[in-house]
Amino acid sequence: MKTKHEKKITQADNLMKDWAGRNPDKTLIGGTKPSKSGFRARMILAQSEPFKSNPEYALGCARLCLTYNIMTPKDLSWMLNNHPAWSQLMRPENMDVNNLLMDEAKNSDWGKTHNVTATLEVKGNVEITYEHPQKGVKTENVALGFEMIRYEGDTRPFIALNLGGGSAIRYHLLKTEPDRPDYKVNDDSNTRRYVKTGRHVKAEADTLLLVEKELDARADDVLARLLRGENVNLGLDSIDESDNDDDDSDDDSRRGAPAAFRKR
């Protein structure tokens, strides 16, 4: 019998047993190793079910892949820009970069002892079309959003889903919000939409190579650099910049991330 405070095992917990070789309590599973590379993980999260129709769950799994060093910030940027739902939000009008959250962080007690290098808040409405096994094709208009902060001395971005249930960054890190976020609203560990699922997308190697070559020319977009904690701005001059920094990529198959912002 489960105790009152025993943590419920989520779909993301079970997935990470395979992908990362980790138990729900984040400990290593003896005799195992990660079954997914960052390149493979981001392809599945962006292009396979149930992740395509469950962007909340896709972000939660990507966040765990970052925690377990399977994905890099560049992989996360690629996933967001190529996911059918998240890609609808990856434009300047939906993104608050180094603004309100940055000011709040710097003015908090936490900010007195930490140097914030980047913040990002993304929110908006997206359209999700999926096929329910019994009810057929359905289309929903849903609110999506997430927040991110980086500061000197961290090892990876602090990223959290925020669908209106409250800010995890402001509650847990900055201590500027008194109420704990509602994690039923902000649940990124389980699917919300029941969809038809087949095998994960398994494109031919030559097709994947063509995709990577196309993306390689646009490898360092503003979002990827923000996730790495670099100082960026949303001026037009920043849109096509590339610092050609490959320090978060260990082979040619992990180099691509499409541009988050494009001139119209």
Mean pLDDT of the chain: 82
Question: Which region holds residue 164: left if phi is over 0, alpha if psi is between -120 and 50, else beta?
Answer: left
Strand extents, DSSP E, the chain:
95-97, 116-132, 136-151, 158-161
pLDDT at 29 over 90: yes
Residue pLDDT, tens place only, 32-70:
999 999 999 999 999 999 999 999 999 999 999 999 999
Q: Residue 205's pLDDT is what?
A: 40
Nearest to 49 by CA among 203, 192, 196: 196
The answer to whether residues 104 and 174 touch, using CB atoms and an 8 Å cutoff, is yes
Residue pLDDT, tens place only, 141-166:
999 999 999 999 999 999 999 999 99
Q: Is residue 2 part of a domain?
A: no
Q: Is residue 1 part of a domain?
A: no
Q: Residue 222's pLDDT is what?
A: 67
Q: Beta-carbon neighbour count of residue 201 at 10 Å?
A: 13
The answer to whether residues 74 and 248 touch, using CB atoms and an 8 Å cutoff, is yes
Q: Is residue 193 part of a domain?
A: yes
Q: Is residue 263 part of a domain?
A: no
Q: Is residue 45 part of a domain?
A: yes
Q: Is residue 205 part of a domain?
A: yes
**Residue numbers of the domain that contains 15:** 11-254
* DSSP secondary structure code for residue 255 in this structure: -
Mean pLDDT for 178-189 is 96
Spatial separation of the C-alpha atoms in residues 250 and 153, rounded to whole Å: 22
Q: Is residue 5 part of a domain?
A: no
Residue pLDDT, tens place only, 205-224:
444 555 555 554 444 566 77
Domain count, the chain: 1
Q: Is residue 249 part of a domain?
A: yes
**What does pTM read for this prediction?**
0.78
Q: Beta-carbon neighbour count of residue 47 at 10 Å?
A: 16
